[in-house]
Amino acid sequence: MTNQEQPVSEFKSKSGLKRIVSALGYSIAGFKTAWKGEHAFRQELFVVVIATIAALLLPVSALQKLLLIGVFVLVLIVELLNSAIEAVVDRVSLERNPLSKNAKDFGSAAVMLALFLAGATWLVILWPLFIDG
């Protein structure tokens, strides 16, 4: 290996269609694991389902519907990333460590910010419907 070559993990995926099929399988496995083991993910998914139904029924533009649904999908994305961080930290060590705490707290803060963004988006879009209208 020359100095320019990067080491490649033995777990690195294949190329072409096989890679796409494998990636889909890994994604489905990730959703199943999140559903089974992450209470916050299940709670947030429930909110996403309710919010999606509500957004589709609201008298707002298609773009606004997309934003109302999209911000809650973003919450799910951030929650999955937070869960991944927590899993890696726990895999490395279950001992209490300030750096491990920081990593987990940063992930939690990211979820909180995503939830604030979702709430603010819903407020801004719905305010004219219920207050001004």
Active-site residue list: 79
**Side chain identity at 59, as an amino acid letter?**
P
Q: How far apart are the first and last CA of the chain?
A: 68
Q: Mind giving me the DSSP string for 14-78?
A: -STHHHHHHHHHHHHHHHHHHHHH-HHHHHHHHHHHHHHHHHHHSSS-HHHHHHHHHHHHHHHHH
Q: In terms of Cα–Cα distance, which of 47, 44, 50, 49 is closest to 79?
A: 44
